[in-house]
Structures are given as structure tokens and as C-alpha cells.
Structure 1
Amino acid sequence: MTKRLRFFYLFALAFFRKNFRLAARAVIFALFTFVFFTLTFKGIWLPFGQRLWLSLEKTTYTEGVVGSVKSLNPLFETTEAESELNTLVFRSLTRLDKSGKLQLDLAESIQEVTPTEYVFKLKKNVFWHDGKNFTAGDVVYTVESSQDAKLATTAKTVFKDIKIEKIDDYTVKFKLREPFAPFLSQTTVGIIPAHIPLSSYKPIGTGNFRVADFTPEKLVLSNGRLDLVFRFYMSAERAVLALKQGEVKALGGLEKKDLEQLAGFSNYQLYSKTMPTRLTAVFFNTKAEAVSDKLVRQALSYATAKSSLIKVADGGSVIAAGPLASGNSLQVAEKEHFPFDLSKAAILLDKAGWKLEKGKRTKDGKHLSLTLTTAVSDQYQSLAKEIGKSWSILGIDYQVLSLQPGEMDQAIKDTQFQLVLTTEAINFDPDQYVLWHSTQVRQGNLTVLSSPKVDKLLEDARKRNDNAFRKEKYAEFVRILADESPAIFLYYPTYNWLVNKKVSNIRLDRFVTPADRFQNASEWKIPRFAI
């Protein structure tokens, strides 16, 4: 072997000595050819090289999602899952931080010209995922599409009675019909591209992740180095089973029962955060005969042990004292008006004419009979059962009506309930006009509350962009609403997220909504091919 190598070495050396000029020319020609083709076809070779390198570096994260995702369009989102995923693909003019303060996103600056005119300067060098420039035309298109009467956009109310004008390619002006203090907090709606008409819509955004694949079974989002794979399951039970079987490596929105089932899975890390803009409550139909008297509603408020409900729910939630978001943007203080007290509850029921006769609350020969409507989930069922314990002690006939999600939505929409236990999304801004104003019945005012005092406070508070003035009005609103007692505000629920421990460097310091769990996804550390 050594002799052969020595032979070839001596042969090559003799060849180059004899043909030095020819060999030198061949090497120079090869180098020139390489440089020429690299410069000439760099649009092909360099991206190919980059893609090859990124494919070797890329990691994948797979998470289960309960429910289907039909629309990846922020103007048409109807579910929590759609809202979460849209946040990853689309950016908005502004966003809210964990304290409810407004932060600039696609907007570079905002100028309040008058109480009804706002000028937005937009950031330059922002690109859609297909390479097109983001401009003012996209903002105009988004707003006008949301206002189109022919389209069933869920963002229609956000820009209602608002005109938008393009000043130049990177400046837009919003004109409001009348002063509206919460306006800026409404500009967190995702912006869609004007160059892709809704008739041939594709989910192309300016967010950190682009859509790589979207089918009824899964969604794949990618930023080049990380693929986020979301697999859809029609029930929480099926999603939990998928986690157990290794189909997915993470699952969010877990209830207490789910966590108990998964307690033995030591290779998963639990992340739990309070959701300050989600409020679990018992809402009264104030027009239903049994609870039309506010004294009865106040009595039931006193008879609800919130601390016990927290333990039943998940143990980590924060008790709510009123209707506003926890840590609302104006820091309007809320105090507990109805601490648990069965004696006070009994006194109020007596005062309302519901006397205790043979262990039953009776008035005009009728028993006080209440039906609490809620979802079929184990958590809501457990809460409903716990609520009934103390109400039954007072001599109230009590039963629970369990509905599927679609039935539940319809019952709320048609106000076909006496009381309903559910969780509502609320804003950091304390403006709750849609939830409680008498003109919003069958829209957001599910309790059918009609109070001239509440109406006036809500109207006044949104007309002046003066924080001190608004804070005073909302403090009074909270007090009046407590007296009316259209709902029993229970707690701000906890979001539970179980993730494989191989995923590290997850930060939730800016967590407000479930979508915020991906706030630093680009910085996650995941072993290649492990997730």
C-alpha cells in the first residue's frame, strides 16, 4: 500500500514539474469559473445554501389545540384558538403590555391632533411574508374591510363610525365621529395585506411566523429556524390522550382534572399564569322573574363562597371583586362588596319576601327555584355543584343545566337562561359599554341590565381622554353596578400550560393572554429532532 502511494506521489510531482504552466492555468481557470458562477447565479446558489443550512439547524415544536381553526384572518376570528394563532402570524398597529399600557407595534408614532383625530406614522422596512412592503394602504384596507356591511367580520364593532384616510405611504389619519377615549386600545387588531383580496385570501402576515402548511388537522408556522406545529383535536379528552401518547409535546388550557391525570408525567414542565383579562362569573338574566329583584341577586352574591370555588377550579386563580380586568389600565380600585355571609343572605331573601317555610324559600305559594346554565366541562360542573351547596342551605331549589358549546352560545345570545356560569373576555381598558349599557342587549349585555345611572357613567367616561376624569367615573360605575348586582364576579382564571422539559428558555414575563406564551418562541432552546 505504501509503495502504491509513493508511486502516485512521485508520478504527480513529475507531471506538475513537466507541465507546470498547464496545471497553473487549469487551477486559475477553475477559480475564475467558480467566482463567475457564484456572482452570476448568487440568487440561486446562496439562498439554496442558506436554506440547506437552516434546514439542518431547524427544530420543531408540536402542541395540541382543542377545537378547530377555520380562519387565519384577524378580522374573522371567532375562537380563542384562532385569536392565539393569528397573533403569531399578524402584527397590529399597537399592542398591550402586561400592565395594560399601550405599546407601538407597526405604528412608529401616534399623534392626537384633536379628541376625534389621530395620526399614525407607520414603520418602514416592514415586509409581508411574501416579500411585499407593508404600507398605509394595508391599514386602510384592513379598516375598510372590517366595516364592509357585506362581510361578517368580528372586528366590525372595533372601527364602527370611524373614517380612515391615507396621508402618504407611511401615514394614516383616523377620524372619529365623536370623542372616544378607549380608541387607541382598539388598534390592537391584526393588519391584513391589501394586495391579497379577500376573495382569494391567503394568510400572509408580518408577524414572527409565516404559515407553512394549513389543513383541517394541523397548522404549521415557521420562522426558518423553528417550526410550530399545532394539531387540532375536537375534545379536551382527545388532546390529553394525544399528550400521553406522545403525538404532541405540549398542551395549554388544562383544567385541574387534566393536571391530576398528568401528575405522573415527570418529563413535562407546568407553566401557570393568571389571565387578567378573563373573568369567570355567574351572570343573571335580570328580566327572569326569580332573579328580577336585586335583593335576591345580592343575597345570592353573599351566599357564594369564592374562596371555595378557587380551590375547586385550580387553586391558583385570583378572586375578583368587580367587573374590571385585574390591574386595569386606569388602576380603578375594586373592593369586595359581598363577602361570604349566609346570615346576610337570609336577611335579604326575607326582605325580598322569600320566607323560609318547611325548609323552602316560599313567596305567594311558590318555591324559589333556580336553574344555573353552564358548559359540560368538568371544571364548570364542579363549580356549579359547589355554588349550589350554600344556596341549597338557604332553602333554594337549585339545579344545573349543562349545555354543549354551541348550545351554550345560543342560550346566551337568546337570553334563554335564569343564571349562566361562564368566562368572559374583557379589556384592560375599563370601558365596559358593550357589556352593561342598555342599548347593547343581545349584543354584549347578556344580563339585559337597564340602569340609567350605569348608562350615563359609561357614556361620560368614554367621551374624555382624561385619565383622572375616567378613573372617577369608573369608580362610581363599579359602585353602582355592585348595587344592581347583575352578576357574581368570581375570579380571574389561571392558564395552565404543560410543556416537554426539552423545551427550555421559555419566558412568560409579559403574559396577558394565552397567545403571549409564544412571546419569545424564537429564543426557545430545543434539541434538534427531539420535539
Structure 2
Amino acid sequence: MRVSRNFTLVLVAMLVITQLAGCSTAKPEPEQPKGGTFIFPMGAEAQQINPILANGNFAVRQLFDTLVARDEDGNWIGKLAESFQVSEDGLVYTFKLRENVKWHDGEPFTAEDVKFTCDTVLDEKTLTNRRSCLVVGDKPIEVEVIDEHTVRFTLPEFTINFLSNMALLRYIPKHLLEGKDVNTDEFNQNPIGTGPFKFTEWKKGEYLIMSRNDDYFLPVQLDRYILKIIPSAEAQVIALEKGEIDCLLLQGSDIERLKSNPDIVQYNINAGYNYFLYLNIHKAPLDDVKVRQAIAYAIDRESMASTVTYGSAKGAYGLYDPAGPLADYYNHDAPEYRYNIEEAKRLLAEAGWTPGSDGILEKDGQKFVIEQIITAANEKVATMLQSDLAKVGIKMDIRMLDNAAYSAALRLDPESPDAPWCYVTANGPTNTGDPDYYDTFHTKAYGIRFNYVKYSNPRVDELLDKGLTILEKEARIPIYKEFQQIVMEELPMIPLYQFVVVFAVRSRVGGLPEDRTADANGIVWEEAWRLYIKPETK
């Protein structure tokens, strides 16, 4: 069954034992026989497959499980856990594990595996990207085995994100890895998990095969789930057209190209966050808030969204989607900077910029020339920004970088002379359904998370800290509305358009929603046990 009510309300009730769902309500059609192979393309190959290390993400989702997850309605459902109890102060979580869960080698999964995994993640010698799941503030969470199927987590201080972090942490077997170097062990090339599929074969550079786990607690339909290595994006599209793969995230003109193919179904999935133009608020002339506001007014976001996403997305004017799951947090009173060239020119004039003989703005003998760094994926956005800003006298140069150089540039100190002026990237609240923006706007997030522009505002820090300590939604709404008001006035980054994922899948694949805006991609990633190949197409 599903969780009976939102966990926020559960905690407000203070002490509760929450029964988690053993499965979602939507199941594969019962009359469909098992069998068939689903093929998922990968542009690059993992170096290892261990869920607590930093690589192999596609495979680990099928091979390993979490304690809990969210369903499509945002309710908590059980995976390795079947229930949990929360203390009155919200600091102690006691999980009851499913009995009869087995590792793929037949050994039982127990609370010892949970503690071993957590201890390994917290070990500083482990090259993990999951340590933050088990740390609150600067202190580690204590993990204690109560009995074979019961484990207790004691938090050093309250955080609303604990369950969300538990939905990210996947577990490794103590009986295979205890006393070994988890970073280099052979396990990472021949993994044993508890997930719906078992590791079968890995031919480097070509494919990775996973086979159905008949002991899984949910009814797995597919015989095999294959990850096929296809480095070229164009080759992936051709493979989808030929039926050599079963799904693909589409970009650019490929969206239109495949719309008329009767064997391919497209899902337009609002990812819940936006593309933003990040502005270096420490580098002139972008250190002037009037200039940043003028740039926001100068951008035709609806035209950009329509062109870049081929009509699948809309312009963005705030930090949340006013029609999405976090709509209640959207501050309609905060400035939105809708397209207005005259207002952009007025603000630039107020900031002291006047047109030069060549049409480019000037101030104190300096031309208004900035540079945007991009990767190939953002070239169309960059050229549209360049065109829009030229209309108000701003010259924006474009510098193309490869992915590695681009990532390195984002990590440069914004106050250094080599730091970029601006760039476009996607951001927003996490997919956990929480409005928190700590990782993007909190002063402490600079250098370790996504506060690339070194934004710092004491009141914003205070609001973000406070938002993580309050449970009731109605009490949190004014906190995040005030936060949005400040950020949208100061504009360290400008919302551009919604991040809409266009996911294409072969029509032979069953187990996906009829609703073409539903998160079919999420099912392929996280709930592949639902999938089946329609009998007439095998």
C-alpha cells in the first residue's frame, strides 16, 4: 500500500510508525507474459559499477536498491525497508527491513549490510559522492544495528532532507567487501546487488547485460536489460529508428524528426527545474544589479524556449514552476523581468551606459563587452542570447569549450581575472519535491556545491537555514517566497526556460504511462521491473 499521507504531515503528528508501500499502484498488465530484452543506450562507459562510488550510475539503479523512494505522487514507498518509526524530535529513524531479501549470490540482506555500507561511505578513504547523505551540518549520522532486520539512524541535528538522502543511498554487501579496498576491489567489475536485475556480462566498449532477478520482491517482467555503448548522438538516433535500442533522450531537431515515426512514442516531461543564465556578480559590468536586471528584461524567453526546445517548453520567470508541484512556493509578487527592451535600455542608461558610434554601449571609456562560455549543447541558446543583448547595445562574445574545460571554468573563483562572465546551465530544487535551494544560493555552498557565482546574502542564508528546520508546508511557504523575492531582485542568475526532457521510446515497450507528460524516463531508470516487451513484437 502507499504511504497514507505526506511525510511532512506525519512528522507534525510527531511519533508515528509509517508503513511504506511494497510497490506502486501501477503494475505491469497481469496478462502480459514475461520475457523480452530492453536496450538502453549509453554515450560513455562506466569505469566501475559500485553504488557508493562516483561512476556507473545507469547500471547501479538496476542492480542495487535504496531503503525508500518516492512514487509518482510524491509519497514515500518502500524498497529495502517496509516501515520506519520516527522519534518525537525527528532525530531518530528506525527502519524495519524486508525479510527474505537476498543478494544476487543468494546471501541474505540484513541490517549489518546497511551499517557496513554507511560506515564505508563515511570512511574518508572511500572515494564516494554519497558522504553528504550521512552528514548533517558537519557531523556524521550514527547508524546502529538493532537486530537482523532493524536498523536505527540517529541524526546529530534535525534536517528535513534525511529521507530524500536515503532515497539516494544504495547498499553494498558486507560479506563480500568487509576488510577490502572498496575503491579497487574486483567487486566493482562484477557487482552483486539486491535490485530487480542481476549483473550478467560486461564487454568493455560494447555492452553490459543484466538479467531478471526472480527473487526480487516485485514482479520483474523483462528477461534482460542491456546497456549498449553508442558514443555518437547521431548514431543513437539512427539506432532508435532502426529498432536497435528502445529509448533515447532527444535533443534539438531530432524531436521534430521523430514525431511522425509510428514506432516511436515521445514523452514531454517537465523536469521541475529551469535553465538559468549565471552571471558573475563579482566581475564588472555584471557587478551592477541594474545591469543584471536590464539583461533580464532584454531576453525574449518565450521565443528562446520555443526555438530551443521545439515548442516543448515555456519561458521561466522565477525559481519555481508556477504550474508545477512546487507552485505554492512561487512568489507572484517577485519581479519576473518579462521581455521589455525599452525597460532594459532605461536601466542601462541609469547605470551610466550610453551608445557608442558603433552601437555598443560605453561607460568611462570602456565598451560593454562580455563573454559567455558554452559547450556544444548550449550553442543555440548562446546565439539567441547574443542576438537579444545586441539589441540593447551589449556585445556578448561566445567561447566554446569541451565538457572538461567548461566544468573547470565553473569552479574558478568568480573574483579571479580568468573567471567567466556568464554561462547557461540547468538548476533548481532536487527531484525530491522539496523547495530547498541551499546548494545553489547559500554562502556555505560556494566551492562545494552549485553556488558557482559566489552569491552571498545573510538574509538568504538565514531563510535557507530556517526552511530546513520547519516541517509544515504552510509555515515554509512564506520563507521560500521571501527568499525568492530577494534572489529575483539581486539576480545572481536569470531564469531562462523550463527544463523539459523529451524522452522517446519504441512502441513495443509496455509498462509505461498513457499520459505523454508522465515521467516515463524515471520508470526506465528507477522502476524497470514494470517494463515488458509486448508479445506481438518479440
| 2: CA distance, partners of 1:104 / 1:522 | 15
Structure 2 counterparts to residues 133-144 of structure 1, below 5 A: 133-144=108-119
Report whether the alignment pairs 1:83 with 2:80. Answer: no
Q: After TM superposition, give the deviation of residue 153 of structure 1 in Å.
A: 0.7
- Aligned partner of 1:366 in structure 2 is 366
Q: Equivalents in 1 of 2:114, 2:326: separation in Å?
A: 26
Q: Deviations over 1:273-330 (max 9, x none)?
A: 2222x43111112222221122211111111121111112221124433334773568
Contact 2:117 2:172 in 1 (8 A): yes
Offset, 1:419: 0.7
Q: CA deviation at 1:167?
A: 1.7
- Answering whether residue 319 of structure 2 is matched by residue 323 of structure 1, we say yes
**In structure 2, C-alpha distance between the alignment counterparts of 1:329 and 1:191, rounded to whole Å:** 30
Matches within 5 A, 1:98-137: 98-113=72-87, 114-137=89-112
Q: Which stretch of structure 1 is more off in the superposition, 454-463 or 123-132?
A: 123-132
Give 1:435's aligned residue. Answer: 440
1:498 has 2:475 as partner: no
Q: Does 1:290 align with 2:278?
A: no
**Contact 1:250–1:499 under 8 Å retained in 2:** yes
Is 2:157 the counterpart of 1:178? yes
Relative distance call for 1:63 and 1:115 in structure 2 (3 A) is closer
Taking the TM superposition and a 5 Å limit, the aligned residue runs for 1:52-71 are 58-71=35-48
Q: Name whichever structure is richer in helix by fraction.
A: 1
Deviation at 1:505, TM superposition (A): 4.3
* Residue in structure 2 matched with residue 239 of structure 1 by the alignment: 236
Task: Answer whether contact 1:179 1:464 (CA < 8 A) is retained.
Answer: no
1:13 paired residue number? none
The answer as to whether partners of 1:506 and 1:521 remain within 8 angstroms in 2 is no
Find the residue that maps to 1:344 and give its secondary structure. Answer: helix
Contact 1:507–1:517 (Cα < 8 Å) also in 2: no
Q: 1:519 to 1:482 in 2, by over 3 A?
A: same
The residue type equivalent to 1:228 in the other structure is: Y
Residue matched to 1:47? none
CA deviation map 1:184-221 (0-9, x unaligned): 22111222222221234242222222222223321212
Whichever residue aligns with residue 265 of structure 2, its letter is Q
| C-alpha contact (below 8 Å) 2:297/2:344 kept by paired residues | yes
The equivalent of 2:524 in structure 1 is 517
Hey, what does 1:460 align to over in structure 2? 466
1:120-519 alignment to 2 at 5 Å?
120-160=95-135, 161=139, 162-189=141-168, 190-197=170-177, 198=182, 199-201=185-187, 202-216=190-204, 217-223=206-212, 225-244=222-241, 246=243, 248-262=244-258, 265-276=261-272, 278-314=273-309, 315-324=311-320, 327-328=324-325, 331-335=328-332, 337-358=336-357, 359-377=359-377, 380-415=378-413, 416-424=419-427, 426-427=429-430, 428-444=433-449, 445-507=451-513, 511-512=518-519, 514-517=521-524
One-letter identity of the residue aligned with 1:134? F
Report the CA distance shift for 1:507/1:130 in structure 2 as closer, same or farther (over 3 A): farther
In 2, Cα distance between the equivalents of 1:143 and 1:362? 57
Compared CA separation, residues 500 and 434, structure 1 to 2 (3 A) = closer
Write the deviation string for residues 475-504 of structure 1: whole angstroms up to 9, x where unpaired: 211111111111111233222233333334
Q: Is contact 1:282-1:421 (8 Å) kept?
A: yes
Whether the 8 Å contact between 2:320 and 2:428 is mirrored in structure 1 is no
> Could you tell me which amino acid in structure 2 is paired with residue 270 of structure 1?
Q
The residue type equivalent to 1:234 in the other structure is P
Deviation at 1:431, TM superposition (A): 1.8
Q: Deviations over 1:362-392 (max 9, x none)?
A: 1111111121112112xx2111111222211
| CA deviation vs aligned residue, 1:415-470 (integer Å, no higher than 9, x gap) | 53211112236412122212111122122211210111111111111123333332
- Greater gyration radius: 1
The separation in 2 between residues aligned to 1:493 and 1:508, in whole angstroms, is 21
Deviation by residue 1:490-521 (Cα, 9 ceiling, x = unmatched): 23322223333333442276955833235664
SS of residue in 1 equivalent to 2:174: coil
- Which residue number in structure 2 is paired with residue 7 of structure 1? none
The 3-state SS of whatever aligns with 1:435 is: helix
Q: Is the 8 A contact 1:317 1:492 kept in 2?
A: yes
C-alpha distance in 2 between matches for 1:495 and 1:220: 26
Secondary structure of residue in 1 paired with 2:77: strand
- Distance in 2, Cα, partners of 1:465 & 1:57: 43
Shift of 1:356: 2.6
Residues 269 and 329 (structure 1 numbering): CA distance in 2 closer, same or farther, change over 3 Å? closer
Aligned-residue CA RMSD in angstroms? 2.6
Contact map agreement 1:508 1:516 (CA 8 A) in 2: no
SS in 2 for 1:87: helix
CA contact (8 A) 2:320 2:326 kept: no
Secondary structure, aligned partner of 2:133: coil
The count of corresponding residues between Structure 1 and Structure 2 is 469
Moved more, 163-172 or 463-472: 463-472
Mind listing any 5+ residue stretches in structure 2 that lack a counterpart? 1-32, 214-221, 414-418
- Paired residue secondary structure (2:307): helix
* Aligned residues of 1:503 and 1:526 also touching (Cα < 8 A): yes
Contact 1:137-1:194 within 8 A present in 2 as well:
yes
How far did residue 226 of structure 1 move? 2.2
Is the alpha carbon distance of 1:433 and 1:393 closer, same or farther for their aligned partners in structure 2, counting shifts above 3 Å?
A: same
Q: Single out whichever of 412-421 and 254-263 deviates more from structure 2.
A: 254-263
Alpha-carbon distance, 1:232 to partner: 1.4
Measured after TM superposition, the shift of residue 64 of structure 1 is 1.9
Relative distance call for 1:213 and 1:498 in structure 2 (3 A) is: same
Amino acid of the structure 2 residue aligned with 1:465: L
Deviations 1:164-195 (CA, angstroms, capped at 9, x unpaired)? 12222222222222221222221112222222
Pairing partner for 1:73 from 14, 27, 50 = 50
Q: Deviations over 1:250-288 (max 9, x none)?
A: 342211222344456443232332222x43111112222
What SS is found at the alignment partner of 2:196?
Answer: coil
State the TM-score, normalized to the length of structure 1: 0.81
Distance 1:148 1:503 in 2: 42
SS at match of 1:172: strand
Contact 1:89 1:209 in 2 (8 A): yes
Whether the 8 Å contact between 2:428 and 2:437 is mirrored in structure 1 is no
Paired residue secondary structure (2:132): coil
Are the counterparts in 2 of residues 180 and 463 from structure 1 also a CA contact under 8 Å?
Answer: yes
Counterparts of 2:320 and 2:78 in 1: how far apart (Å)? 24
Q: State how far apart, in whole Å, the 2-side matches of 1:324 and 1:163 are.
A: 34
- What TM-score do the two structures reach when normalised by structure 2? 0.80
Amino acid at match of 2:398: V
Spell out, residue by residue over 1:21-62, the C-alpha distance to the aligned partner (whole angstroms, 9 max, x if none).
Answer: xxxxxxxxxxxxxxxxxxxxxxxxxxxxxxxxxxx9632222
* Residues 181, 463 of structure 1: 8 Å contact kept: yes
CA contact (8 A) 1:97 1:512 kept: no
Aligned equivalent of 1:53: none
Measured in 1, the distance between the counterparts of 2:123 and 2:287 equals: 39
Q: Structure 1, unaligned stretches of length 5 or more? A: 1-55
2:176 and 2:315 map into 1 onto residues whose CA distance is 45
Quick check: 61-70 or 87-96, which moved more?
Answer: 61-70
Q: In structure 1, how many angstroms separate the alpha carbons of the residues matched to 2:525 and 2:326?
A: 23
